[in-house]
Amino acid sequence: MTLQKPCAMPGGGALGPAARPLRRQSTRRPFSPDATSAGKRTLANAALALLTRLDGGAAAAAQYDRADNMTLQLAALSCLLDAGQGAEQLAAFEANGRMTGW
Would you write out the chain's pLDDT as a tens digit for each of its 102 residues? 333 444 444 444 455 566 666 666 555 678 888 999 888 888 888 999 999 999 999 999 999 999 888 888 999 999 999 999 999 999 999 998 776 766
Q: Which residue type does 71 have?
A: T
In a domain, 10, yes or no: no
Whether 52 contacts 82, CB under 8 Å = yes
Q: Evaluate whether 6 touches 75 at the Cβ level (below 8 Å).
A: yes
Q: Is residue 4 part of a domain?
A: no
**Domain count of the fold of the chain:** 1
Q: Which helix (H) or strand (E) holds 4?
A: none
d(CA 51, CA 58): 8
- Note whether residue 8 is domain-resident: no
Residue 61: give the domain boundaries: 16-100
Domain assignment of residue 1, yes or no: no
Is residue 6, in this structure, part of any structural domain at all?
no
